Structure 1
């Protein structure tokens, strides 16, 4: 079987929760996963996809769905003993953090980068689309801060990002978290248990908050863009 893949978005609160569940319940699986970013492309990258008849598989959510997600994520975070600081995305440029990810990946710090950025976004409520934020992450991780700050402007990294988006399209990724194991596909944090089972990975014991059942962490599809 080909290596298992976790498609994530640094924008998505459900990806944040999936990372938490992988760390606490499936740490060995997390070590095995190929981590692949998924994000809404800017006009230039979207145009490059369109030239080859490719379309990014994501549909903008309605106001009603957005409001539901605010409540749902708060509920799911509370069940995990997490608190969330909702960021305000003024003029998001998702290439800023997601193309910086490729710099960290080349340096062997893919997961460390994801951890730093998700904490910045979901624990501190910071704007991760600010290039200065990526510069800070570079300093924390011991990477070139300028390279991370300017990754979204680098033609070579943008070309790498374009290929990554094409890979998402080929894999049929329409939202995150999204997991694949060979031809099997799993969308949402409630499918993490099934995904893990498909690759022979059992959940590690985890201490649940009071009054929670063993299945309480797996009660919602938990998928979005």
Structure 2
């Protein structure tokens, strides 16, 4: 399967809905987690945005939506019996943790970095845009802490990051979690079941994946057009 046709899971280390989808993906659809390409999504800073050829498909959420997400995510976390500690973002630069993911991925530890970073942000409430915390996360999983903490300053990683942002634009990813399979797009935690069902149905003859469990229900998205368990 070529990279252009590989099913994709767009995730953001910033988004609580992406975090919940990640947990569900691993717990309920481990075969799908292994099959898909994991692609980070983040809002570009001025330097990254200036390098893009198009307009990044993201709009800031309203105060009303922000307050709703606080309530909704807290409810979903309780339902899933997941510990939740809300972080406080002070002038975040999202290239810092997300380009560090590229460092970890190249070391073969991308999944471990995602797990540790989600835990740090959503279970411990810590600032993952703090370079010292990124270095701590990297060291804990065996990744070069200096390389991870300084990833946003590396011109090659910046270029690779911009290429990912261009892919986000081409795929029309306006929020996370976002799943892509061919021409089909799925946005939100509760769309994961549909994405997995389609993927399994198409690939069963080739890979022998088990049929999806009937009646699976997803958890509960962000731009101001609506809400289906995802975040912009």
The two structures share one fold, judged by TM-score above 0.5: yes
Corresponding residue of 1:18: 21
Structure 1, residues 22-58: CA drift from partner, whole Å, max 9, x if none? 1111011111110001101010111111xx3x00101
Q: Give the conservation status (yes or no) of the 8 Å contact 1:117–1:128.
A: yes
Q: Give the conservation status (yes or no) of the 8 Å contact 1:76–1:217.
A: no
Q: Give the conservation status (yes or no) of the 8 Å contact 1:7–1:38.
A: yes
Counterparts of 1:24-63 in structure 2, within 5 Å, are 24-49=27-52, 52=53, 54-63=54-63
Corresponding residue of 1:6: 9
Distance in 1, matches of 2:9 and 2:172, equals: 13
Distance in 1, matches of 2:131 and 2:187, equals: 30
Corresponding residue of 2:86: 86
Distance in 2, matches of 1:215 and 1:26, equals: 11
Of 219, 224, 228, the match for 1:221: 228
Q: Which has the higher contact order (CA 8 A, sep 6+)?
A: 1
Q: Give the conservation status (yes or no) of the 8 Å contact 1:132–1:149.
A: yes
SS of residue matched to 1:58: coil
Gaps of 5+ in 2: 201-208, 221-226
- Runs (4+) of structure 1 exceeding 6 A deviation are none
Structure 1, residues 71-111: CA drift from partner, whole Å, max 9, x if none? 00011111111121000001101010000010011111111
- Tell me the TM-score normalised to structure 1 length: 0.91
- Change beyond 3 A, Cα 1:100–1:161: same
RMSD between superposed Cα atoms in Å: 1.6
Gaps of 5+ in 1: 206-213
